[in-house]
Structure 1
């Protein structure tokens, strides 16, 4: 249990360094509760009656910056209409995030770069960045991926809870591509080229290894935890952690109880002095803030504090770990890490320094790739726009203009 002096120091550090959370589903909570009418008098994000996020709690939790997830669920069936509907809804969610920022510009400020993130934090507002949770949300359209970046999206998760045409998800367990499809490998290169961070949360272990082999820019896990402590398919194995360190990326530890709850069967574990010997007793012990701190330290001990961050997944769950109920509780987590001996320099990296570094490095790599003549972009297949008769008419008119010395004929 952290002391009062550690809580005071935690708050002091949060005033000094921005806490940047890698994943929060608040925009989807807003869509479900209010709809999209941000001009409605009922549209008040200050004190929400539901969920784990609102403006009051963000300020109490001293959040410095937040990646808001423009999440839309995957298709119930594979069809052109379903894909276009998901793309349509994703654009609505991106727009909703911008309108949320505009409506509360005294508290929130958009950020699309590492420098903008720091500038907004220094202005006393919460820097607001955008992520998209799954390539299913591009609607099968690579052009949409590029446009998302132009609209301010700075990471895309490669999949959600289902396989897609590019990558295998950790759920279901039976693979479709053996990791990545050929198109998936091309998408990795395209995301590197345009400066979009690649998010590997929700992907399969094989997909993670393959992306880390071919990506020329650092990648992230925006909301995952460590398989070595909590053996869940969504978590990251030690082997992938080692590859992540070599890549220069980071894992942002998730608060979802099923991903961070540490087994206490047998000898006392990292989180408590209790010894539990019966599975029935074990099932009754909830995940806790101590578990989350243990995951952060576990990852850091294996790959270094330069490769660890925080990605809560608040509002993507009904209930957080004990002691981390909502976004107001970040100071308690920082105090817990202080109580476990984590130093100020390492905390600066975990809180936000690492994700700012990765964001900047991804931007820099995109700049280098754009200078490479042979690094072509992906393109969408386009069905025939004109009939054969129309194409012939265009050719005939072109020949006619050339025969007149390049002068357009007036028809």
Structure 2
């Protein structure tokens, strides 16, 4: 039988020990009484869809959210952005495109990586790639300086955190296509000084660095010798190595050389798009996770669902025939109304659920620490999923993840913690080399 007296008074013949024991017991009781109540775990899966969406909006706004790839700078160039005046004013709601300040705020997007995009065609003219990169960087800086109450440049995770605390949208930059380096290795450090924090090694064609996933011509069967030097130099100066767009062999070569984790700033899982090398195979996802890297899921229709291309082609063909049969043009209001109605009734677009499937797949393969958002907003045209047409709709995706059992901590990792970990590791390694 339990001796309660012995439990309460364990030292009957030792007054000092007894006194000390009672004091400790009292402190323990007081300490227990002062403990805050355990935080109640919210079961988001038990909520209604409407309740879950409201919870997702709250999470989106209190959590830093990073998007690995938004093509706003090139959209500004096409839209006529000049140093004299901003024809495309994204400080206010815009009638087209996927990104502007009001919609970014609505969706809780805090740090869209501005894509300094260099088309592969620029590679044909010496100096053209670097010149375009400089121009787009200048446009991005101009956006921040023109609207300092809305946007701010960001060159590190701590910059993003400081801007978030002020309610500003951070504008970190990544250069899409390493052709901006031209044939001069010193340009890697030059672009680091200009604020570039990742470089996508290739784009639609092989360049001086390596082979592209989109290019049937394989000049090097991976990285070139120059490309190997570029990866090492990116490590040295603190630029993240971005392996979106590269061929599988280039991907493997870069992983073998890099001393720090890498990213894929806007790629999805090849499991759902068989034969589409631009997306990542399970083998590459596992290799990236072993490296400590992060794959940031692209929202574009052809990246998310292999059925999208066929479905959209059928819709497009029908609408072209309708215009011809009714002697209409794309600008006619009658055609616009019909096209909207027909497309809605024959919706070829993927859904938010399909995007969540890609996140689920990465998590099932390698865990929650190796996935993020890399929407490709303003870069994939009108192919975006239903429910994810612009930056205001991020809560729809978060709500779907909550419905599938993801916790708030899981969401925080996907939103920013995973990419911050890689970014900080790259910064720390560069600091150790100086």
- TM-score w.r.t. structure 2 length? 0.77
Give me the whole-angstrom Cα distance separating, in 2, the residues matched to 1:41 and 1:58.
Answer: 19
1:40 aligned to 2:85? yes
Superposition deviation, residue 15 in structure 1: 2.2
Give me the whole-angstrom Cα distance separating, in 1, the residues matched to 2:215 and 2:228.
Answer: 20
Superposition deviation, residue 314 in structure 1: 0.5
1:27 aligned to 2:73? yes
Give me the whole-angstrom Cα distance separating, in 1, the residues matched to 2:381 and 2:247.
Answer: 25
Superposition deviation, residue 76 in structure 1: 5.5
Report the secondary structure of 1:167's partner residue.
Answer: coil
Give me the whole-angstrom Cα distance separating, in 1, the residues matched to 2:128 and 2:348.
Answer: 41
Aligned residue number for residue 105 of structure 1: 148
Report the secondary structure of 1:75's partner residue.
Answer: helix
Figure out how many residues of one structure are paired with residues of the other and give that number. 348
Kept in 2: contact 1:235–1:259 (CA 8 A): yes
Give me the whole-angstrom Cα distance separating, in 2, the residues matched to 1:311 and 1:41.
Answer: 26
1:143 aligned to 2:189? no
Report the secondary structure of 1:8's partner residue.
Answer: helix
Report the secondary structure of 2:377's partner residue.
Answer: coil
Question: Deviation per CA, 1:250-273, whole angstroms, max 9, x where unpaired?
Answer: 000001110111559xxxxxxxxx
Kept in 1: contact 2:264–2:295 (CA 8 A): yes
Superposition deviation, residue 42 in structure 1: 4.0
Kept in 1: contact 2:114–2:174 (CA 8 A): yes
Report the secondary structure of 1:251's partner residue.
Answer: strand
Give me the whole-angstrom Cα distance separating, in 2, the residues matched to 1:217 and 1:209.
Answer: 14
Give me the whole-angstrom Cα distance separating, in 2, the residues matched to 1:188 and 1:77.
Answer: 19
Query: 274, 295, 312: which one pairs with 1:251?
Result: 295
Kept in 2: contact 1:2–1:336 (CA 8 A): no
Aligned residue number for residue 239 of structure 1: 283
Aligned residue number for residue 351 of structure 2: 288
* RMSD of aligned alpha carbons: 1.8
Give me the whole-angstrom Cα distance separating, in 2, the residues matched to 1:177 and 1:42.
Answer: 42
Q: List runs of 5+ in structure 1 lacking aligned partners.
A: 265-282, 371-411
Bigger shift: residues 352-361 or 66-75: 66-75
Following superposition of structure 1 onto structure 2, how do residues 184-195 of structure 1 map, counting pairs within 5 Å? 184-195=227-238
Report the secondary structure of 2:270's partner residue.
Answer: coil
Query: 317, 322, 334: which one pairs with 2:386?
Result: 322
Report the secondary structure of 1:119's partner residue.
Answer: helix
- TM-score w.r.t. structure 1 length? 0.81
Q: Which has the larger radius of gyration?
A: 2
1:310 aligned to 2:353? no
Give me the whole-angstrom Cα distance separating, in 1, the residues matched to 2:86 and 2:247.
Answer: 44
Kept in 2: contact 1:254–1:311 (CA 8 A): yes
Superposition deviation, residue 77 in structure 1: 6.3
1:73 aligned to 2:116? no
| Counterparts in 2 of 1:358 and 1:284: CA distance versus 1, 3 Å | same
Kept in 2: contact 1:75–1:83 (CA 8 A): no
Superposition deviation, residue 58 in structure 1: 1.1
Query: 409, 417, 421: which one pairs with 1:353?
Result: 417
Aligned residue number for residue 133 of structure 1: 176
Give me the whole-angstrom Cα distance separating, in 1, the residues matched to 2:123 and 2:258.
Answer: 31
Report the secondary structure of 2:126's partner residue.
Answer: helix
Give me the whole-angstrom Cα distance separating, in 2, the residues matched to 1:336 and 1:155.
Answer: 29
Give me the whole-angstrom Cα distance separating, in 2, the residues matched to 1:123 and 1:257.
Answer: 34
1:205 aligned to 2:248? yes
Shift >4 Å, 4+ stretches: none
Report the secondary structure of 1:228's partner residue.
Answer: helix
Aligned residue number for residue 398 of structure 1: none
Following superposition of structure 1 onto structure 2, how do residues 262-273 of structure 1 map, counting pairs within 5 Å? none
1:261 aligned to 2:305? yes
Superposition deviation, residue 286 in structure 1: 2.3
Superposition deviation, residue 195 in structure 1: 0.7
Question: Deviation per CA, 1:185-216, whole angstroms, max 9, x where unpaired?
Answer: 11111111111000000000111111111111
Report the secondary structure of 2:279's partner residue.
Answer: coil
| Counterparts in 2 of 1:262 and 1:162: CA distance versus 1, 3 Å | closer
Q: Which has the higher helix share?
A: 2
Q: List runs of 5+ in structure 2 lacking aligned partners.
A: 1-46, 309-345
Kept in 2: contact 1:83–1:136 (CA 8 A): no
Superposition deviation, residue 368 in structure 1: 2.3
Give me the whole-angstrom Cα distance separating, in 2, the residues matched to 1:173 and 1:340.
Answer: 39
Give me the whole-angstrom Cα distance separating, in 1, the residues matched to 2:52 and 2:127.
Answer: 50
Give me the whole-angstrom Cα distance separating, in 2, the residues matched to 1:77 and 1:145.
Answer: 17
